[in-house]
């Protein structure tokens, strides 16, 4: 009897120890502690193996791309508008699109999302935000984040803020204008808002945020994924400390699994020249994703879990980003059927600003608001009108200051 009792006690001790260890280990791998970015050879080997498996699964999941190739979808040249490189910082480059019309007023700096290619902002003729701004006479600059490599694995949110601030300064120096219009898309919009809410808005003529994520508690699919306590961010890293590009691509696909429908539309529309003109560049943008730094992934998970920007607790270089401190004209653009950043997640910005923003709701989804022939004109028209009004306000302020 004593022997059985000892066995039972020993089994309970082992089970309790394993349960406690499992809980500690789970808390460890679901953490966003930057120390997890460091890895010895054994851990790196495990990450390489895991990343290889993820790439294999992503390759299998990429079967709709085979349909696009079979349908002869063109590998369109993107971006569509010629530009020159003005400035570089690591993988990031600042592109300049000079306007031939030379309209007076501040230049426009366009900031794309941090985790995808910038092509969607200059996708194809007639579907290019950059071209729309140029045709209106603006001098346009675009901050292309480029393709991060192993050297950028430790680059987090603050690193991207520093790059943005350097790019803004380069635009001011090159244009000779003391102020600029800032236009940010998706996480680029979130970045621009947080940066200037924390570091001040001097040097800005206006700020436009297109589909920014402000209230991460809103039930969006991307927000739910990042906020999930069951998400172990460290398991997404490869041996270099980066999140592999195929994993990024398939993560967006998993948010809205419509691969079969996409393949059917591709095959049925393959002979439609109007459809092909946009589908080719868009398909290339979708499939040619970039890796992202592990440190940025950790920061984005912290951002989503804490909802800190909405509540004024998010910090940039140690300074709180309080949206109510912004005192420049702000335009907020949302998409009615955005499954990545739902409109309510962006509308939260209106409740935080000191000055009511101009709010524009576009039909369509996260990308369609920029690239669809039926919806893009709404965003472009409203943006151009907003920039004109902001420039006029700037001129009035300068005139009053001179008196």
pLDDT tens, residue order, the chain (403 aa)? 455 545 554 555 555 544 444 444 444 456 676 677 777 777 777 777 776 776 676 666 565 666 566 666 666 666 778 888 999 999 999 999 977 766 668 999 999 999 888 888 887 777 889 988 998 889 999 999 999 999 999 999 999 999 999 999 999 999 999 999 999 999 999 999 999 999 999 999 999 999 999 998 876 666 667 777 777 888 888 888 898 888 887 777 665 555 556 666 665 666 666 666 666 667 777 777 889 999 999 999 889 888 899 988 999 999 999 999 999 999 999 998 888 888 999 999 998 998 899 999 988 888 878 876 544 578 888 999 999 988 887 667 666 665 4
The label of the residue with tokens 């079967």 reads 63
Greatest distance between any 2 Cα atoms in the chain? 100
Q: What is the CB neighbour count within 10 angstroms for residue 313?
A: 12
Q: Which CATH superfamily is domain 66-402 in?
A: Alpha/Beta hydrolase fold, catalytic domain (3.40.50.1820)
Angle at 156 between CA 151 and CA 160, to 5 degrees: 90
* pLDDT value of position 353: 93
CB 138 within 8 A of CB 99: yes
* pLDDT value of position 170: 96
Q: Rounded to an integer, what distance in angstroms lies between the CA atom of residue 241 and that of residue 36?
A: 9
Q: Rounded to an integer, what distance in angstroms lies between the CA atom of residue 246 and that of residue 318?
A: 33
Q: Compute φ and ψ for 314, nearest 5 degrees.
A: -75, 140
Q: Rounded to an integer, what distance in angstroms lies between the CA atom of residue 311 and that of residue 352?
A: 9
* pLDDT value of position 382: 92
Q: Please name every residue paired with 393 in a beta bridge, in sequence order, or none if there are none.
A: none
**What's the pTM?**
0.83
CB 304 within 8 A of CB 216: yes
Of the candidates 207, 190, 193, the one whose C-alpha atom is nearest the C-alpha of residue 386 is 207
**Beta-strand relationship, 319-320 and 315-316:** antiparallel
CB 80 within 8 A of CB 122: yes
The continuous run of DSSP H or E covering 60 comes out as helix 41-61
* pLDDT value of position 315: 93
Name the region of 319 (left: φ>0; alpha: ψ -120 to 50; beta: rest).
beta
321 Cβ contact partners less than 8 Å away, ≥ 6 residues apart: 193, 194, 195, 197, 198, 309, 312, 314, 315
- List the domain boundaries for the chain: 66-402
Q: Compute φ and ψ for 383, nearest 5 degrees.
A: -65, -45
* pLDDT value of position 76: 62
**CA 347, 186, 140, 164 torsion-angle sign:** positive
* pLDDT value of position 309: 92
Q: Rounded to an integer, what distance in angstroms lies between the CA atom of residue 321 and that of residue 141?
A: 25
* pLDDT value of position 126: 76
Q: Rounded to an integer, what distance in angstroms lies between the CA atom of residue 26 and that of residue 156?
A: 23
Q: Compute φ and ψ for 70, nearest 5 degrees.
A: -65, -35
Q: Indicate the SS3 state at residue 34.
A: helix
- Which tokens go with 383? 């943006």
* pLDDT value of position 211: 93
Q: Rounded to an integer, what distance in angstroms lies between the CA atom of residue 338 and that of residue 325?
A: 28
Could you tell me the CA-to-CA distances from 15 to 1, 329, 391 in Å, in that order? 21, 60, 68
CB 189 within 8 A of CB 332: no
Could you tell me the CA-to-CA distances from 308 to 258, 315, 320, 359, 367 in Å, in that order? 32, 8, 10, 22, 26
Q: Rounded to an integer, what distance in angstroms lies between the CA atom of residue 340 and that of residue 347?
A: 14
* pLDDT value of position 127: 80
């Amino acid at each position: 009897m004593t022997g059985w009792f000892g066995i039972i006690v020993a089994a309970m001790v082992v089970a309790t120890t394993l349960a406690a260890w499992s809980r500690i280990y789970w808390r460890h791998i679901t953490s966003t502690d930057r120390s997890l970015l460091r890895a010895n050879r054994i851990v790196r080997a495990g990450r390489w193996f895991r990343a290889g498996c993820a790439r294999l699964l992503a390759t299998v999941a990429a079967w709709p791309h085979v349909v696009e190739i079979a349908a002869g979808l063109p590998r369109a040249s993107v971006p569509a508008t010629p530009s020159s490189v003005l400035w570089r910082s690591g993988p990031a480059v600042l592109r300049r699109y000079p306007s031939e019309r030379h309209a007076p007023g501040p230049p426009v700096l366009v900031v794309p999302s941090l985790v995808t290619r910038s092509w969607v902002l200059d996708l194809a003729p007639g579907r290019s935000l950059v071209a729309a701004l140029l045709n209106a006479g603006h001098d346009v600059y675009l901050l292309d984040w480029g393709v991060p490599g192993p050297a950028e694995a430790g680059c987090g949110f603050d690193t991207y803020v520093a790059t943005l601030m350097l790019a803004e300064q380069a635009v001011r120096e090159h244009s000779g204008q003391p102020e600029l219009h800032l236009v940010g898309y998706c996480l680029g919009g979130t970045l621009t808002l947080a940066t200037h809410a924390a570091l001040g808005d001097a040097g800005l003529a206006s700020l436009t945020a297109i589909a920014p994520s402000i209230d991460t508690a809103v039930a969006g699919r991307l927000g739910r994924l990042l906020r999930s306590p069951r998400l172990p961010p460290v398991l997404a890293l490869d041996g270099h400390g980066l999140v592999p590009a195929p994993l990024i691509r398939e993560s967006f696909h998993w948010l809205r699994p419509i691969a079969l429908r996409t393949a059917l539309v591709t095959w049925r529309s393959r002979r439609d020249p109007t459809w092909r003109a946009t589908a080719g560049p868009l398909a290339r943008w979708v499939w040619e994703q970039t890796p992202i730094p592990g440190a940025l992934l950790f920061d984005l998970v912290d951002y989503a879990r804490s909802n800190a920007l909405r509540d004024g607790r998010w910090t940039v270089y140690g300074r709180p980003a309080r949206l109510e401190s912004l005192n420049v004209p702000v335009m907020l653009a949302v998409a009615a059927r955005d499954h990545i950043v739902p409109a309510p997640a962006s509308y939260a910005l209106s409740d935080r600003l000191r000055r009511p923003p101009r709010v524009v709701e576009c039909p369509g989804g996260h990308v369609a608001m920029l690239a669809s022939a039926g919806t893009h004109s709404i965003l472009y028209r409203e943006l151009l009108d907003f920039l004109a009004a902001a420039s006029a306000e700037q001129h009035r302020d300068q005139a009053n200051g001179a008196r």
